[in-house]
Structure 1
């Protein structure tokens, strides 16, 4: 059975090392926050109006897959 967790916390990293968890994804909160802030600033500077019912655009931020 393949089991993967998120956040890459120390407990999950230990379980991966012990073979109890297949992998964990280490997210980078600083990068996530910085990208969100960058998008916000760009939106404010552009002055572009966005309809309330507009489908949201998804942004991705690279993460690290820990498997050992």
Structure 2
């Protein structure tokens, strides 16, 4: 099972995660940093979540 992890302290608010996997990630409207919407995305979302982690410029999104 894929378990995305976020580190809000590392997040710079670039929004790449939301662009790649909007069903799994969002941005906090107050500070623009990442918010995890789905801690256990279904298999059909794994590719987009993996891409979100790979394209995060600050490394705030990781996979577990």
If the length of structure 1 is used for normalisation, what is the TM-score?
A: 0.24
Higher-Rg member (1/2): 1
If the length of structure 2 is used for normalisation, what is the TM-score?
A: 0.25
- Structure richer in helix, relative to its length: 1
